[in-house]
Amino acid sequence: MECEQRLNWLILAMICPLIAGAPSSMSKRHGSCPEENLNIDGGTFVLSNNYSDGSFLRYICPDGYYPSVQSRLCQYGLWTPKTSARKSPKCQKVTCPNPRVLENGEVTPYKNAYYVNDTTTYSCHSDYKFRGTAVRVCKPNGKWNGTTPICGRDSDHCPDPGVPPGSSRTGHMFNIDDKVTYRCDRTLTLIGSKERVCQDGGQWSGTEPQCYAHFTYDTPEEVSEAFSSALKSNLAVSQQNEGGDQQGKKITLDQGGKLDIYIAVDASDSIDKENFDKAKNTIKLLIEKISYYEVSPNYEILMFATDVHPIITMKNFKSIKDKDKITKVFEDLDNFNYEDKGDRTGTNIAKLYSDIHESMKLEEINNATSFLETQHIIIVFTDGHANMGGDPIPKVNKIKYHIIKNDPKREKKLDLYVFGVGKDVNKYDVNGLVSLRDEEKYFFMLPDLDKVQETFDQMIDESTSVELCGIHQDYDDENKRRAFPWLAQINVVRSPHGSNCMGSLVTSTYILTAAHCFKNGDTADKITVDLEKNLKVLKVEKYIIHPKYNKTAYENKGIL
């Protein structure tokens, strides 16, 4: 009995301190974090939700510098990761990967570290041919401009694949089935192919590796060139000329083919509300830009955290009337809020790819012949920090096998892209989720989404040789009117982004413009005309599409 009483007292003694401490712990859970000791030496910081629980603190440094601590999270009344007054965050100089890895050549100048705006020059030893960029400059995003310098003899079946900055290579034989392997310096992450094989056609398998530091990112210009530029000429027709630089040849649709695009956005705790909303707008903008071209893709839009939330499924999208499809997608996107993902806010990337695969299976069951002819594109916005659901790579491999079916000729039926969003992207894991093909890039690092609109605007560029007739971009209004008094600006309102096109006055009541300006579902009441700055905006009574307008008539000639 005495023993039992002692046990009861012992249990009570253990419980009391826990109960006594509970109010303090619970108050911290939903309380605010301290406002002191947050500054960064040489930079500033922004907060997603002031000093409240769940708020993200993001450090910002000037161009050419990066924060020693990327971000912090307010959780249980404390900022994590913790910092001390003795070791507070600071802005450090950006460096570019070591360029002194060139084989059979010389790199000048010799330095222990290469900082922003540092210039390097490359030359080859005798009997070696030079390829690549001879003079390179270290850019503020931690990358060298131009292409990898290579000194090779070009005497083997495949050309010398080179050694990218910050890496080392094993393998110096470049004949059929010979392999080369790469690894990056200790503090860098390899993006691209770790191993490449010399193929029968004289090309290397996979894609050239790059070595990224934790502060390395891609600029909007780089993303536009590698991802978006293909839309200018290759979305609706197959590539007519295989010669020349293939970089940037991304989304291609074989003549008469079908295109299914899956777009997914990370809605887990590691993506804050600001970037979540920007990612939704990015989806709208991407769809809007694609709609200018002579192809009508099918879309599946998903948000994912612990669970996967379909905004619209491929099956449902295909069941909507053509003129209502895009409007319905935008409405559903607008109606899905950051809070709708619920409290289950882990990051289950494996489930995302598993659900996409299940959707593909349904499409195959519905029409197996059409499925074989369809090109599939998956575009994911995430920071890559999966914390549940297991490794997503086996799920991705199942998709690859299902679409490609071990047939090299079907490789281009599947494109896997990832946009790494934020300052702390898990580069190593994300690299296994993307397609790897020679001279092409499928993984893009973006510090934020503020400049994505600028990136996608470069898809529609009147300066290109495959310009879209009538597409308007902003220029100086007064000079434009003086030079071209017959011009009329046509504004078409539609969600989320309308069209701004140019037309010509051909009579006092008629304006001639390009049919590309209008899309299915546009109505006259949504169209206005500006003839001159500060004049009254004119309404449109009706618009008439030429009866012989056929957007697919010249696809076989490569003309959009």
Nearest to 433 by CA among 441, 443, 424, 422: 443
- Segment 324-343 shows an average pLDDT of 83
Three-class DSSP labels, 13-41? HHHHHHHHHHHHHHHHHCCCCCCCCCCCE
Q: pLDDT confidence of 393, banded at 50, 70, 90?
A: very high
Which one has a higher pLDDT value, 475 or 96?
A: 96
Q: How would residue 158 be classed by pLDDT, with cut points 50, 70 and 90?
A: very high
**What digits encode the pLDDT tens for the residues 187-196?**
999 999 999 9
- pTM score of the predicted model: 0.70
The better pLDDT of the pair 152, 228 is held by: 152
Q: What is the mean pLDDT of residues 488-509?
A: 80
Question: CB of 428 within 8 A of CB of 441?
Answer: no
Phi, psi (rounded to 5 degrees) for 232? -65, -30
Q: Are 206 and 195 in contact (CB under 8 A)?
A: yes
Residue 19 has pLDDT above 60, yes or no: no
Residues 434, 502, single domain; the answer is: no
The answer on 147 and 265 residing in a single domain is no
Residue 206 in domain? no
Note the pLDDT of residue 247: 38
What does the mean pLDDT of the chain come to?
80
d(CA 447, CA 142): 12
Residues 167 and 275 in one domain: no
The single residue listed with the structure tokens 């079908």 is 258
Give me the number of domains the chain comprises. 4
3-state helix, strand, coil in the chain (%, to 5): 30, 25, 50
Between 332 and 421, whose confidence is greater?
332
Could you tell me if 265 and 309 are in contact, meaning their C-beta atoms sit under 8 angstroms apart? no
Asked if 411 and 487 sit in the same domain, the reply is no
Instruction: Check whether residue 177 and residue 66 sit in a common domain.
Output: no
CA–CA gap between residue 560 and residue 555 (Å, rounded): 6
> Where residue 315 sits, what CATH number does that domain have?
3.40.50.410
Which pLDDT band, with edges at 50, 70 and 90, does 181 fall under? very high
Residue type present at position 537? V
Which of 457, 491, 507 is the last residue before a domain boundary?
A: 457
Burial of 491 (0-12, 13-18, 19+ CB in 10 A): middle
Percentage above 70 pLDDT, the chain? 77
And the tokens for 99? 């360029």
Report the range out of 103-112, 284-293, 320-329 with the highest average pLDDT.
Answer: 103-112
* Domain contains 467: no
pLDDT tens column, 518-528? 877 788 888 88
What pLDDT is attached to residue 255?
Answer: 43
Residues 88 and 111 in one domain: no
68 and 178 both lie in a single domain: no
At residue 167, does pLDDT exceed 90? yes
The pLDDT value given to residue 445: 86
- 8-state DSSP, 188: -
Question: Higher model confidence: residue 162 or residue 494?
Answer: 162
547 in a structural domain: yes
12 located within any domain: no
Residues 266, 380 within the same domain: yes
Give the domain extent around 122: 105-197
Question: Is the residue at 5 inside a domain?
Answer: no
Contact in structure between 106 and 122 (CB atoms under 8 Å): yes
